Every structure is written in structure tokens, then in C-alpha cells.
């Protein structure tokens, strides 16, 4: 009886191993499923891009998928219009493009026969960014409408009902800081360096302004000195010089010009009348 029991246990163990091995996906199945995920991600990308070009024209045809008479302008037809409306308008808005990234990574890892456990962090941070981004765009609905989607807009209103707009903004900023520090690996020293650079630049501007004023005054004084040097120097007259000048003027006034007779000149004495007594 003991031998029979041991054989029964061994048979059950082999059956369980065969079941587990049958449930495992082979290399070919992984490759096909990976290609399917990649193609689906590309289809989502094309439908999302086409939604921003022809999305408003397909609003009426989204709810009537079975009506073959209606035509859509989406690049992927009615299915593309439905997917774009579901993810972008009814869903998380522009951050839904991250779903394309997630699906593409899953397909690439399956095609390359890599473990999907390595994508845990990517799945977490992509989901975190999808939620935070949609709420942030919902918060900015008045400025950029329809980018946050219905889910982002409703989540924004739900949070504002409890902590208000300022509290919602602070929560969003805190979420962005978490993403920058833990995902992008922005060290806290970078934030402190930003404040240090701002203070240093402010001090440098102050020193530059204070040092610029005396330089301008010195340059102004140098220009004045240069203009004074360029002017002609006129010596002031002394009393002795004035005396000499007056004596010279007196001597020049006493000088008489002597004229000598010329052969061409007429003798005025010869023109006198020769008759001494005039006739009566």
C-alpha cells in the first residue's frame, strides 16, 4: 500500500509540472504577442495624432459605430476615432500618449524575450505622470481646455472641493518635485545652487552698478582735461609789455613818408599865369 501511495504522489507531481509547462508561453508566442502590442501602440499613436487634426469632425460618429453610412476623417476610421475619444477626451487627455510608450515597451520586451519585471519602475512612474499631468492640465482648463481630459478635469474639481485651488496647486507642485527627484534624479543640491546663483548674480549686479558711477565721473573729468589741453594757451599781458607796445606805436606815428619827384609828374609851379597884370 505504501508503494502505491508513493507512486500516486509521483504521478500527481508530474501532472502539475506538465500543467505548468503547458501554461508557459513559448518563444514564438512571445514574439507574436510582442508584435501585436507594438502594432497596437502605433495604431494608438496615429489615432491620437489624427484626433488633434480631425477630432471635432468625428464627434457625432463616435457614438454610432454600427452605422456604416457614417464616414469618419480619422486615419484609422471609426475604431481610431473611438479610441482617440476614449483616451484623450473621456480619459486622461494629452498624457494618454504615455500609454503608447507603455504598450510599445511591453511589445519590445516580449519580442526580445526579456523579463517584464524590469518594467515595474517604468509602469509606476508612467502611471504617476499620467495622473499628475492630467490633473495639472485639468487645473489649467480655462487656459488650455480639453488637454486634461474628462478624468483630469473631474479629479481636479474633486480635489478643489476639499483643499481649494491653492492647495491643489501645492499638491501638484509637490508631485512634480517627487518626479524630478526620484525619476529624473535631480539632486537637492541643484535647487540650492539655483538660489545661490540668483543671490550671486544679484550681488554682482549691485557691485557693477556701484563701480560704474565713479568710472563715468573719472572719464568725464578726463574728457574735460583733454578739452582744456586742446585749447590754445594765451599768455596774460604784463604792464611792461603794455609800455613797450605804447612806445612802439608812438614811434610809428612820428614816421613821415618822403616823396621824390617823378619825371612823369606835372610841375604845378610852371602852370602859373605869365601875365602879371590882367587886362581891364
Q: Which of 54, 131, 52 is nearest to 88 (CA)?
A: 52
Question: Does residue 47 register a pLDDT over 60?
Answer: yes
pLDDT of 280 higher than 70: no
**Strand, helix or coil for residue 117:** helix
The three grid cell numbers given for residue 24, joined into one nine-digit string: 508557459
Cβ neighbours, 10 Å, residue 39 = 13
Element of type H or E holding 37: helix 27-54
Q: Check residue 92 and give its pLDDT.
A: 94
Q: Name the strand (E) or helix (H) holding 122.
A: helix 120-139
CB 144 within 8 A of CB 72: no
As a whole number, mean pLDDT of residues 8-31 equals: 66
pLDDT digits (tens, 9 = 90+) for 135-144: 999 998 888 7
Of 172 and 218, more confident: 172
- Reduced to 3 states (helix: H, G, I; strand: E, B; else coil), residue 256 is coil
pLDDT-derived band at 154 (thresholds 50, 70, 90) equals very high
Say what percent of the chain tops pLDDT 70: 62
Instruction: Supply the pLDDT for residue 40.
Output: 96
Tell me the backbone φ, ψ of residue 268, rounded to 5 degrees: -70, -25
> Which pLDDT value is given to residue 185?
83
Residue 38 and residue 33: Cα distance in Å, rounded?
Answer: 9
Total count of residues recorded for the chain: 280
Amino acid at each position: 500500500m505504501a508503494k502505491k501511495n508513493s507512486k500516486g504522489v509521483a504521478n500527481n507531481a508530474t501532472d502539475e509540472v506538465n500543467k505548468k509547462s503547458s501554461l508557459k508561453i513559448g518563444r514564438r508566442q512571445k514574439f507574436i504577442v510582442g508584435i501585436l502590442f507594438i502594432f497596437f501602440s502605433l495604431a494608438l499613436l496615429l489615432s491620437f495624432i489624427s484626433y488633434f487634426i480631425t477630432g471635432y469632425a468625428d464627434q457625432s460618429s463616435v457614438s454610432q459605430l454600427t452605422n456604416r453610412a457614417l464616414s469618419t476623417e480619422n486615419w484609422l476610421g471609426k475604431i481610431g476615432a473611438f479610441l482617440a475619444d476614449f483616451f484623450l477626451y473621456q480619459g486622461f487627455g494629452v498624457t494618454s500618449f504615455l500609454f503608447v510608450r507603455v504598450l510599445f515597451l511591453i511589445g519590445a520586451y516580449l519580442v526580445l524575450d526579456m523579463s517584464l519585471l524590469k518594467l515595474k519602475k517604468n509602469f509606476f512612474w508612467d502611471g504617476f505622470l499620467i495622473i499628475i499631468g492630467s490633473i495639472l492640465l485639468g487645473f489649467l482648463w480655462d487656459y488650455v481646455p480639453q488637454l486634461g481630459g474628462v478624468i483630469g478635469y473631474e479629479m481636479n474639481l474633486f480635489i478643489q472641493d476639499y483643499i481649494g485651488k491653492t492647495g491643489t496647486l501645492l499638491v501638484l507642485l509637490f508631485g512634480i518635485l517627487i518626479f524630478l527627484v526620484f525619476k529624473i534624479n535631480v539632486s537637492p543640491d541643484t535647487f540650492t545652487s539655483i538660489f545661490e546663483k540668483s543671490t550671486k548674480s544679484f550681488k554682482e549686479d549691485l557691485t557693477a552698478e556701484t563701480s560704474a558711477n565713479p568710472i563715468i565721473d573719472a572719464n568725464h573729468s578726463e574728457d574735460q582735461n583733454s578739452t582744456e589741453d586742446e585749447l590754445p594757451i594765451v599768455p596774460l599781458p604784463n604792464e611792461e609789455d603794455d609800455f613797450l607796445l605804447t612806445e612802439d606805436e608812438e614811434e610809428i606815428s612820428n614816421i613821415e613818408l618822403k616823396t621824390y619827384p617823378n619825371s612823369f609828374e606835372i610841375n604845378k609851379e610852371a602852370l602859373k599865369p605869365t601875365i602879371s597884370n590882367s587886362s581891364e
